[in-house]
Amino acid sequence: MKVAKFGGSSLADSSQIKKVCEIIINDDERKIIVVSAPGKRFSSDTKITDMLINIANLRISGSEANNEFIAITKRFEDICSELNITFLYPSIFEHMKETIYSPINNKERYMDAVKSLGEDCSARIVAGYLNTIGHKASYCNPKLAGLLLTVSFGHAQVLPDSYERLSALRETDEICIFPGFYGYSTDGEVITFSRGGSDITGSILSAAVHADIYENWTDVDCVYAVNPCLVDRPFPIREITYDEMRELAYAGFSVLHEEALYPAFRKGIPVHILNTNNPCCKGTKIVSKRRNYDSLVTGIAGEKGFCTLNIKKYLMNREVGFAVKVFKILADEGVSIEHMPSGIDSISIVLRSSDFTAEKERRVIERISLDLEVDEVVVNRNLSIVMIVGEAMANTVGTTARAATALSKAGINLEIINQGASEISVMFGVKDEYCDYAVRVLYKEFF
Ligand code: ASP
C-alpha cells in the first residue's frame, strides 16, 4: 500500500487536479491520498491558505472581509464547474461561510479553523471528482479517522495514540482522500500543524498504516545535489538517506517540512519525491540504507544567518563543568546551540542569529564575563554554514582536505570547520558574503 501526498501546486486548479487523479488511478496501491490546499496557479498568484489567513486576520480585526470571501469562494466555484462537479459547490460554500463568519471567541482557535478550510475543500473536491469519473473514493475526516493533536494552535504535534486509530485506514477498500495540515484536539477543535504541514499528515498516515512507500508529489523532478538557483543543471540525487537529508535540510535544503520525515523514518518507510507535472521522472528516494552511491558527496548546502559566541579562558580544559555553566546561561535565555567546536582553552558556540537577539547577547555576555570569569567573550555575526554531506565520505580519506583546499584556492577564509562523529558531513563556517560562492566552489570540486 502506498500513501501519496500531493502539494499545493498539484491542486492549484482543475487541470492540475485532473493530473493528480490520473496519477491516483494509475496505481491500485495508491489507496490513501493526502491533499494540500490549492496553491499558486502562476507566480504572482496567492495560495488559498494565504488567502484564508488574510481573511481570518481581517475578521479578527473587525472587518467583514466580504470581497476576500467572494474571491476565495470563486476559486472553488471555478474548480468545481471545470471538473463538472457543480453539485458539490453548495456544500463547500456553506461550510466556508459558516466557518469564516462564525463568532470569534478565541482568535487562535478561529484562525486554525479558517486555515484548515483549504485542505478540507481540496479533499472533498478530489473525492467528488474521482467518483464522477467512475472510481470509488471518499473524503476522510481527520476527526473520524482519529488524528488527534496537541493543543498548540498553528504548531500542533500528533498525539501518539492517533497511530493505533489511524491504522484502521489500512482496511479501506475505496480510495481515501485525507485533508492534510490539520487534525483535532481531544475536545474536537480544529488544530493545524505549522505551515507546509500536509507533509506531516502524509508521513503520519504512512507510519500508521505501515505503508510500503510514502510518495510526496510536488512540482520538481527530484532533489538536486545543490540549490538549482546557484548552479546550472545540477546533479540529480536519486537516492539519499534520512540522515543525509536531515543534514542537508539543516543547512537550507527545503524539500519536505522539517518535522515530516520523522514518523516515516521511525518506521523505515521510504519517502519518494515525485513530480505531478512529470510523473515518469524517477524522482528522489529517501531511504534508511542506500544501495547506490552515484557520487562521493551526496549534496552541498549553505545557509546564512548564524553567529558564534567565542569564549577564551586560560586553563579552561582543567575546569570541570565549564561548558555546562555556559549551556545553562544559554538555556536560561531559551537559545539553542547549533555546533560547538572547541580548543584547549577556548570554545566557539554556533547559534542562529535570529534566536540570539541583541538583548539576549547583552545578558549572556554579562553573565559569562561575571559568573565564569573568562578572559574574553565576543560574538561574531554574519556567519554562514556550508555543508558537504554524503555517507560515502565516511570511508574515504581526504574529502575534508579536498574541500578545504578548494575553498582556500578560491580565497575563502574558513572561520570554523566541524566534522560530526558520524563522518557523514563536514561543516564550514564562512562569512555571509562568501556563502553562495563557497557552495559553488565545493560543487565544482565534487561534481
Ligand atoms: N496549505 C498549507 C500551507 O500552505 C499546508 C500545506 O500545503 O502543506 O502551509
Q: Which residues does 401 contact at the CB level (< 8 Å), separation at least 6?
A: none
- The alpha carbon of 48 and the centre of ligand 1 are apart by a number of angstroms equal to 9
Long-range contacts of 72-80 (CB under 8 A, 24+ apart): 72/48, 72/96, 73/97, 75/38, 75/48, 75/51, 76/121, 76/125, 78/13, 78/14, 79/13, 79/14, 79/17, 79/38, 79/125, 80/125
User: Contact at 8 Å (CB) between 178 and 99?
Assistant: no
Ligand 1 within 6 A of 198 CB?
yes
Which ligand 1 atom sits closest to the C-alpha of 201? 8
Q: What angle do CA 259, 193, 35 make, to 5 degrees?
A: 90
Q: What letters, b where the CB count within 10 A reaches 16 and e where it falls short, cover 336-356?
A: ebbbbbeeebbbbbbbebebb
Q: Which one of 33, 119, 182, 195 would you pick to mutate in the ligand 1 pocket, going by the greatest count of ligand atoms within 8 A of its CB?
A: 195
* CB neighbours of residue 126 within 10 Å: 26
- With CA atoms as reference, report the closest residue to 180 among 96, 120, 257, 255: 120
Ligand 1 within 6 A of 196 CB?
yes
Using CA atoms, how far apart are residues 114 and 111, in angstroms rounded to an integer? 5
Placement of cell 467572494 in the chain? 70
- CA-closest residue to ligand 1 atom 5: 196
CA atoms within 13 A on the CB side of 172: 27
Ligand 1 within 6 A of 115 CB?
no
Start-to-end CA distance of the chain, whole Å, equals 36
pLDDT along the chain (447 residues), means of 10: 97 98 97 98 97 98 96 98 97 97 96 98 98 97 98 97 97 95 97 97 98 96 94 94 89 83 94 97 94 88 95 94 95 92 92 95 96 95 95 88 96 90 88 97 96
DSSP tag of 339: B
- The alpha carbon of 58 and the centre of ligand 1 are apart by a number of angstroms equal to 20
Ligand 1 within 6 A of 416 CB?
no
What domains are there in the chain, each with its CATH number? Answer: 2-287 (3.40.1160.10), 299-446 (3.30.2130.10)
Ligand 1 within 6 A of 8 CB?
yes
Q: What letters, b where the CB count within 10 A reaches 16 and e where it falls short, cover 45-64?
A: eebbbbbbbbbbebbeeeee
Placement of cell 462537479 in the chain? 85
Q: Is the dihedral of CA 403, 408, 409, 412 positive or negative?
A: positive
H-helix or E-strand spanning residue 218: strand 213-218
Question: Which residue type occupies 271?
Answer: V
Per-residue model confidence (pLDDT) at position 284? 95
- With CA atoms as reference, report the closest residue to 35 among 115, 119, 116: 119
Phi, psi of 184 (to 5 degrees): -135, 155
- The alpha carbon of 112 and the centre of ligand 1 are apart by a number of angstroms equal to 12
Using CA atoms, how far apart are residues 99 and 144, in angstroms rounded to an integer? 19
Ligand 1 within 6 A of 197 CB?
yes
- The alpha carbon of 128 and the centre of ligand 1 are apart by a number of angstroms equal to 21
CA atoms within 13 A on the CB side of 66: 1
Q: In 66-198, at which residue ranges do the beta strands (DSSP E only) sit?
A: 137-139, 175-179, 182-184, 190-192
- With CA atoms as reference, report the closest residue to 71 among 94, 89, 55, 90: 55
User: Contact at 8 Å (CB) between 55 and 69?
Assistant: yes
